[in-house]
């Protein structure tokens, strides 16, 4: 059991570490879009796409970089009591709080799946069956949702990024949970 947990931790942490290191450079993509927005407003005709593109890049940067941030321990914590606790007590508290986080992320993931199904033209109430139907051929993609702005980009790509990001965050939470279990059992990670 311990070797399975270590293997899971190694794979999830390795993938999220590599993806997080790549996503760190997303800030430069965001800066490039905002820089172009500034230049186009000053010297040319203002671009219609820059504000929404900056928002889309920020979603990818934030959501796909979240698991890396969690793995590195860079999320904000209330350290009033936590800093003085023993490692064992910290592990117990981390186990409890990560379970709440997993529940919250599952709710976000379900909402993102429903929103993505809607953006692909599905207006019923069971988005999971829609995606299963896409795989089996019993469902078809309908009218694709577009933004209401003048640029009118399709919204499904950024919603798929949210699904992937929430799923990776859940995996990272499970990895952190496994680390806490191993710590409580006195095992090295």
Question: pLDDT tens, position by position, for the chain (189 residues)?
Answer: 788 999 999 999 999 999 999 999 999 999 999 999 999 888 888 788 998 999 999 999 999 999 999 999 887 777 788 888 888 998 999 999 999 999 999 999 999 999 999 999 998 889 999 999 988 988 888 899 999 988 899 999 999 999 999 999 999 999 999 999 999 998 877
d(CA 173, CA 26): 23
Q: Residue 33 — φ and ψ, nearest 5°?
A: -65, -45
Q: Token pair of 156, please?
A: 């499904």
Contact 153, 102 (CB under 8 A): no
Q: Token pair of 79, please?
A: 């350290």
d(CA 41, CA 78): 42
d(CA 103, CA 159): 20
Which ranges of 2-155 would DSSP assign to H, the alpha helix? 2-23, 26-43, 50-72, 79-82, 87-119, 127-136
Q: Token pair of 52, please?
A: 């929404």
pTM: 0.90
Which pLDDT value is given to residue 99? 96
């Amino acid at each position: 059991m311990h070797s399975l947990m270590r293997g899971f931790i190694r794979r999830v942490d390795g993938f999220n570490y590599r993806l997080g290191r790549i996503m760190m450079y997303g800030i430069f993509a965001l800066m490039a879009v905002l820089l172009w927005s500034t230049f186009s407003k000053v010297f040319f005709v203002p671009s219609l796409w820059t504000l929404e593109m900056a928002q889309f890049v920020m979603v990818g940067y934030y959501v796909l970089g979240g698991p890396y941030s969690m793995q590195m321990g860079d999320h904000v914590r209330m350290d009033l009591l936590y800093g003085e606790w023993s490692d064992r007590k910290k592990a117990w508290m981390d186990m409890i709080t990560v379970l709440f986080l997993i529940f919250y992320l599952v709710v976000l993931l379900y909402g993102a799946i429903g929103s993505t199904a809607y953006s692909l033209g599905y207006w019923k109430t069971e988005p999971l069956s829609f995606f299963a139907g896409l795989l089996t051929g019993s469902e078809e993609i309908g009218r694709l949702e577009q933004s209401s702005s003048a640029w009118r980009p399709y919204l499904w790509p950024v919603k798929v990024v949210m699904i992937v990001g929430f799923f990776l965050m859940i995996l990272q939470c499970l990895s952190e949970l496994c680390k806490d279990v191993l710590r409580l059992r006195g095992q090295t990670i």
